[in-house]
């Protein structure tokens, strides 16, 4: 029994009803569109929006930053919570652009399953493959949704062959396409043998018309296309929900923009995606899902409400029950943390939440003392610390200075917030000092986001000068002293105290390895696993 009177059986039952999933893929595969389609099917919105807007349709619920609306891409991850049947879905839409992959990787630490979108015309693209590898290392099960099947694309069997060859998973079918994508086509439910015949809604703003046909009716309706679909589908196994999730990959076909195949995706999430379970801790033990409350911050976000310059900490509930107002322990400082302002988040919209269970995402407002990766726990239960967030190897570097020296305080305050949120990494070089930090990023668009936010949120316009480095390596003090001053090398400290050598390119790193055998340059990529 918890302190609030909630029984362990109640916690277990609520956790069993949760599904916490991320939507991942290469840019432009349709992640934000699928997010809208899922929300539309769950009847939590009345009409889907398009990224670029169409007619009187708004932008997608999960893309709310001004830069996202202008560019038509997701720059930051977004959390949506809604019900579907007896389930509570916590859906995290993530950026697909490689420049923002750090944000996506952090989200993958907070989910129990991922839906991987594959463009039917392009197949497995580089970022899709990279994200799958992250899921694989973190033992996150993956459902594949082959999207845009209402447009010309590759053969279904060709796509399955590519998945089989490149991904270490056994494809198992949920649906299979019938006919050629166009104004009308069908999806074969391979388990039941029924075919769902679809007719697209104009513009995809509403649910597509769906007629369920038994095998004889499907054969009459689709003719040879039906026979060919059944023959092709018969070459592959049907999804076995009892099979080890690390070994199989459910395969579905559909068209998110036309809202086709989305209901079957929901059903697969229901019966195949895992519910929240016991969570590994930094010490190597597991935190029982029915234990005292614990959670960790996987994302910090500012600017969601332009009327209030608040910062929201996204906390994944790992165990127990979260009650608004409870006093928690902030693990890094061991100080008390009050949770007076707690929100349930639906994209940009938020409402006060009084209670949350394992798998839920809680937004803590004005959490200035929290940072990405911090653990929170109920002091009445055992102390816990979850593994740290991965820090990724930057490939782009720029020195930053404030355009107006009178805004120096705003500059420092804004930089502190961006680093706290994980927007960029901040390095301080002995050559430049903390007034002229080096910003490090996975991709150059991160600099654009940082500059935009510094100017419009904090009133400190940046001047960024690109630096001629392409990689960073961890280095000890003795090694730093030995190579400091070499052409193409700069020594700096990351905001967490890690000493780094910034290097012109990989060839210089190899040269240092040959000419300075006592100097150890350690890749940061190890932090990402």
H or E stretch at 158? helix 156-166
Dihedral, CA of residue 401, residue 407, residue 411 and residue 412, to nearest 10: 110
Q: Centre a 10 Å sphere on the Cβ of residue 44 and count the other Cβ atoms it contains.
A: 16
Mean pLDDT on 509-520:
94
Contact 64, 45 (CB under 8 A): no
The tens digit of pLDDT for each residue in 217-268 reads 999 999 899 999 999 999 999 999 888 998 999 999 998 888 889 899 999 9
The tens digit of pLDDT for each residue in 169-220 reads 899 999 999 987 655 679 999 999 999 988 766 555 566 678 899 999 999 9
Residue 311, sorted as left (phi over 0), alpha (psi -120 to 50) or beta, turns out to be: beta
pLDDT(73) > 80: no
Q: Determine the 3-state secondary structure of 403 from DSSP.
A: coil
Q: Determine the 3-state secondary structure of 74 from DSSP.
A: coil
Domains of the chain: 21-272 (3.40.50.300), 285-377 (3.40.50.300), 396-528 (3.30.70.3280)
H or E stretch at 429? strand 425-429
Q: Centre a 10 Å sphere on the Cβ of residue 43 and count the other Cβ atoms it contains.
A: 11
What is residue 447's predicted lDDT score, i.e. its pLDDT? 87
Q: How many helices (H) and strands (E) does the chain have?
A: 13, 31
Both tokens of 31, joined, read: 């992640």
Q: Determine the 3-state secondary structure of 250 from DSSP.
A: strand
SS (H, E, C) 367-378: CCCCCCCCEEEC
Lowest-pLDDT range of 323-327, 377-381, 442-446: 442-446
Contact 165, 64 (CB under 8 A): no
What is residue 479's predicted lDDT score, i.e. its pLDDT? 94
Rounded (10°) angle between helices 126-137 and 101-108? 30
Q: Which percentage of the chain shows pLDDT scores above 90?
A: 49
- Give 304 or 490, the one with higher predicted confidence: 490
Question: If you average pLDDT over each of 15-24, 41-50, 79-88, 413-422, which comes out highest?
Answer: 15-24
- Give 47 or 313, the one with higher predicted confidence: 313
In sequence order, the 6+-apart residues with CB closer than 8 A to the CB of 284 are none
In sequence order, the 6+-apart residues with CB closer than 8 A to the CB of 303 are 65, 309, 453, 457
Average pLDDT across the chain, whole number = 83
- Give 201 or 160, the one with higher predicted confidence: 160
């Amino acid at each position: 029994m918890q302190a609030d009177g909630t029984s362990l059986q109640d916690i277990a039952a609520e956790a069993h009803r949760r599904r916490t999933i991320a939507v991942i893929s290469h840019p432009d595969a349709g992640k934000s569109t699928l997010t809208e389609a899922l929300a539309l099917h769950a009847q939590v919105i009345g009409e889907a929006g398009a990224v670029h807007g169409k007619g009187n349709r708004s932008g997608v619920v999960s893309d709310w930053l001004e830069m996202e609306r202008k560019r038509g891409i997701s720059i930051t991850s977004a959390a949506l919570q809604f019900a579907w049947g007896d389930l509570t879905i916590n859906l995290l839409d993530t950026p697909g652009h490689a420049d923002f992959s750090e944000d996506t990787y952090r989200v993958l630490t907070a989910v129990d399953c991922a839906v991987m979108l594959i463009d039917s015309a392009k197949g497995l693209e580089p970022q899709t493959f990279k994200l799958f590898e992250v899921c694989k290392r973190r033992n996150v099960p993956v459902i594949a949704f082959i999207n845009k099947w209402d447009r010309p694309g590759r053969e279904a069997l060709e796509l399955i062959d590519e998945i089989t060859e490149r991904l270490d998973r056994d494809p198992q079918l949920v649906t299979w396409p019938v006919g050629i994508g166009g104004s009308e086509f069908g999806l074969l439910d391979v388990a039941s043998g029924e075919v769902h015949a679809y007719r697209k809604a104009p513009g995809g703003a509403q649910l597509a018309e769906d007629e369920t046909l038994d095998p004889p009716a499907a054969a009459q309706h689709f003719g040879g296309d039906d026979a060919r679909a059944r023959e092709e589908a018969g070459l592959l196994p049907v999804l076995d929900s009892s099979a080890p999730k690390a070994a199989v990959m459910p395969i579905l076909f559909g068209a998110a923009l036309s809202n086709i195949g989305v209901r079957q995706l929901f059903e697969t999430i229901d019966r195949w995606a895992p519910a929240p379970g016991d969570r590994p801790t930094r010490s190597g033990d597991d935190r029982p899902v029915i234990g005292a409350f614990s959670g960790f911050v996987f994302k910090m976000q500012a600017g969601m409400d332009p009327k209030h310059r608040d910062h929201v900490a996204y906390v994944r509930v790992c165990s127990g029950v979260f009650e608004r107002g409870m006093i928690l322990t902030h693990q890094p400082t061991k100080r008390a943390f009050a949770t007076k302002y707690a929100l349930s988040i639906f994209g940009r919209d938020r409402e006060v939440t009084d209670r949350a269970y394992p798998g839920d995402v809680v937004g803590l407002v004005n959490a200035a003392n929290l940072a990405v990766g911090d653990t929170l726990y109920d002091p009445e239960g055992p102390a816990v610390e979850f593994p740290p967030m991965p820090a990724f190897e930057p490939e782009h570097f720029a020195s930053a200075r404030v355009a107006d020296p009178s805004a120096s305080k705003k500059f420092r305050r804004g930089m502190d917030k961006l680093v706290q949120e994980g927007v960029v990494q901040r390095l301080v070089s002995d050559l430049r000092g903390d007034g002229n930090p080096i910003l490090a990023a996975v991709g150059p668009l991160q600099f654009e986001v940082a500059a935009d936010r510094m100017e419009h949120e904090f009133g400190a316009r940046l001047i960024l000068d690109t630096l001629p480095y392409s990689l960073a390596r961890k280095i000890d003090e003795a090694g730093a002293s030995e190579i400091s001053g070499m052409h193409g090398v700069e020594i700096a400290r990351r905001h967490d105290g890690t000493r780094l050598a910034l290097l012109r390119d990989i060839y210089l790193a190899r040269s240092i390895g040959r000419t300075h055998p006592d100097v150890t340059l350690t890749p940061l990529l190890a932090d990402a696993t």
